[in-house]
Structure 1
Amino acid sequence: MSEDIAFRTPPSAPAWQRWLVYSPVARIVIFAAITFGVGYAMHDILAAIGWMGKSVAPLQRALGLMTMELVATVIAYLVLVCLVEHRSPRELSLRALPTYGLAGLLAGFLIFSTVVGILWLCGSYHVLGINAQVDWLPEVLLAGVGAGIGEEIVTRGVLFRIAEEGLGTWWALAISAVFFGGAHIFNPGATLWSSLAIAIEAGILLALVFHVTRTLWACVGLHAAWNITQGTIYGIPVSGTGGKGWLLSSRTGPDWLSGGAFGAEASVVALLVCTSVSVVLLLTALRRKSIVRSRRSRAVTPSCEATPTS
């Protein structure tokens, strides 16, 4: 069994470091503390120069919010990886950006276009016209670049990766998916069903993308393209927000089909399409034997040879 784990606790580390620095909980807390600290400082700085607030122009406000999110999460992740884990952040290597990043962008576009295509065939998605004057750049920056990079660092780079190191792949999939779905529960139009759908269709899918590729750029590309394709191109609300895109559209039918006010992410169509892709990724992981066992089971060394008897 291949166990591609980015970080292992140094064998020579004293007990206090194992608990307060290197343990999974400690590293997650360290990342969260740095993220909140840097984010709070960036908010004050951007507010002082007039880049925050509801009265600011949409593009400038989008740039401010994106900058705050990216600076906080990237700095916190680099501190975690370089100074705490003492390793190179190869999952964010820029060498993988042109290949895995572009592949993720294409995959995100194709997956969500498949969802929209099925909704159209079912008579739920309707194109009413074209809005050539739509102000698309703020949403691309926030829902695409900002959410793509920031949320993937938090959920897959930190939560899934660290949980997988300690608890194994299966528990890491469950924990990161529940967290990702729960993080959307307060969005406009959100319900328990929409959060469950997000957890399964996006939380599990993106975690498996990271598990199979071991690069965050594939996750970032897919996440960004999913949001941009959904909102900026097809004019569907992205997790309950936005929805002003190049295409003027509407969705009809029961909420379980159309997704309702939350958007197509709460549709059973999106759930089935994304689950199908997740199954393919899971089969790939099983074929490669890359599923990581829990730390406790890895510590057990089975006997490879039977004791000969006379």
Structure 2
Amino acid sequence: MLKNLFWNQKERRVRALWRLLLLFILGTPAIYIVVYALYFPLAIILLLVHLRMALPLLQLVNTMLASAVATLVLTWLVVRFLDHDRFKHFGYHLNKNWWLDFIFGSLLGVFLNSALVLVMWLAGWISVSRLFFNQVTTLPFIVVLGAWLLNFLLVALFEETFARSYPLRNFAQVFNTPSIGSRRAIVLSWLLTSLLFGFGHYSNPHVTLLEMISISMAGLLMGLGYILTGNLGFALGLHMTWDFTQGNIYGFPIAGQTPNNLASLFIFHQHGPIIWTGGIAGPDGGLLSICAFLLGILILLAYIRWRYGKIQLFTPLALYKNEQTKATKLNNTTSQAEI
């Protein structure tokens, strides 16, 4: 019985709960190790070549670079040696469809944020207080802006792998019992990981229940692209540009956080109803963001219908090894099993 608690005899691998726990337990120390391993050699090199002015950018990017590198490497190791699976099955196929989904997600992030700002502007809830704001005065505005874009790409890689890609596939395989089936298992995993994603931000500054619900809605939108295509490209693109556009184009707090070394095209002053604008928490804490994410879901479904021919759940997410290979052969290109 003790062996069955930890070992799945049918699949001949460690059970999903322990794989997930191991990834989460090892994740934090792995990130800190990589942070220090990367920071000090790079800082010394910058000082030796008299590029002290670039140190603020190193401080900005280093933590998220370490988080992304540590998460991807650790997840690959867990997938390879505990899941006995292939890393590409966790949303990283990197084929033509993946890159097109990434581009579409990136454009959608800019569009949804811009639509949200336009609504607030037309309602008279915001006004421009500054232009071309740059706290890193030793470096050109465009350079700092580029560093922030890179930073949010790394944030997306870290969070989408750690909080969506790996757990969603594992939960789907756990839930995929004869009484539930693969499609219901994927939907349950999608809902669960989205809730965990939203309420996992409980420690953010100025957090409110509405903000956690809003971020859960963002999780539903980003997870929807994953469960319909099997690709993580859409989620990564949307996550990157949603944060970048909100913080570095329009100058709002991002999920309640206003970071140091900020550079932003606009800085807006908010004076509308907090329940709609989010107030000090930023747009993620208001009802307008929830509306934007609902609009994003409709746009995504239209894109999937146009791009892939029909709206389908990618049921190989809930299958393991031989079952997945068999299911994929029945699949035309990247998805199967109509909703």
Q: TM-score range by the shorter chain?
A: 0.7 to 0.9
**1:51/1:64 contact within 8 Å kept:** no
Equivalent residue for 1:221? Answer: 237
Aligned AA (1:262): A
Deviations 1:58-94 (A, max 9, x none): 2111221022101111002211333333325142133
Equivalences, count: 277
User: Which of 200, 204, 215 does residue 187 from structure 1 map onto?
Assistant: 204
- Which of 247, 253, 256 is 2:275 aligned to? 256
**Gaps in structure 1 of 5+ consecutive residues:** 1-13, 296-310
Q: How many Å separate the matches in 1 of 2:238 and 2:282? A: 18
Which runs of 5 or more structure 2 residues have no equivalent in the other structure? 45-53, 135-140, 176-184, 320-339
> Which segment is superposed worse, 108-117 or 273-282?
273-282
Instruction: Report the Cα distance in structure 2 between the residues aligned to 1:241 and 1:114, rounded to whole angstroms.
Output: 21
Whole-Å Cα distance in 2 between the matches of residues 45 and 288 of structure 1?
A: 45
Q: What is the CA-CA distance between 1:294 and the residue it aligns to?
A: 8.5
Q: Assess, with a 3 A threshold, how the Cα gap between structure 1 residues 61 and 25 changes in structure 2: closer, same or farther.
A: same
Aligned to 1:103: 104
Tell me which residue corresponds to 2:86.
87
Q: How much does 1:156 deviate?
A: 1.4
Moved over 6 A (4+): 282-285
Give deviations 1:151-202, integer Å, cap 9, x for gaps: 00012111222212222123212221221112212112111221122112x1
Q: Distance in 1 between the 2:224 and 2:282 partners?
A: 23
Partner residue of 1:302? none
Q: TM-score, normalised by structure 2?
A: 0.72
Give runs of aligned pairs for residues 42-121 of structure 1, distance below 5 A.
42-46=34-38, 48-49=40-41, 57-83=55-81, 84-90=83-89, 91-96=91-96, 97-121=98-122
- Separation (CA, whole Å) in 2 of partners of 1:132 and 1:165: 47
Aligned partner of 1:177 among 184, 194, 209: 194
* From 193, 208, 214, the counterpart of 1:197: 214
Normalising by structure 1, what TM-score? Answer: 0.78
Deviations 1:234-281 (A, max 9, x none): 111111122751112111112111111110111211101212333565
Q: CA–CA distance in 1 between the matches of 2:38 and 2:109?
A: 31
CA distance in 1, matches of 2:242, 2:312: 29
- Aligned AA (1:273): A
State which drifts further: 131-140 or 203-212: 131-140
Q: Whole-Å Cα distance in 2 between the matches of residues 39 and 294 of structure 1?
A: 29
Q: Give the aligned CA root-mean-square deviation in angstroms.
A: 3.0
1:141 Cα deviation after fit = 3.2
Q: CA deviation at 1:36?
A: 3.0
| Distance in 2, Cα, partners of 1:294 & 1:137 | 38
Q: Which residue of 2 aligns with 1:245?
A: 264
Letter in 1 for 2:70: A
Question: Is the partner of 2:201 in helix, strand or coil?
Answer: coil
Give the 3 Å change call, closer, same or farther, for CA 51–74 of structure 1 in structure 2.
farther
* Cα 1:38/1:289, change in 2 over 3 Å: same
Aligned counterpart, 1:150 = 158
Task: Give the % identical residues.
Answer: 21
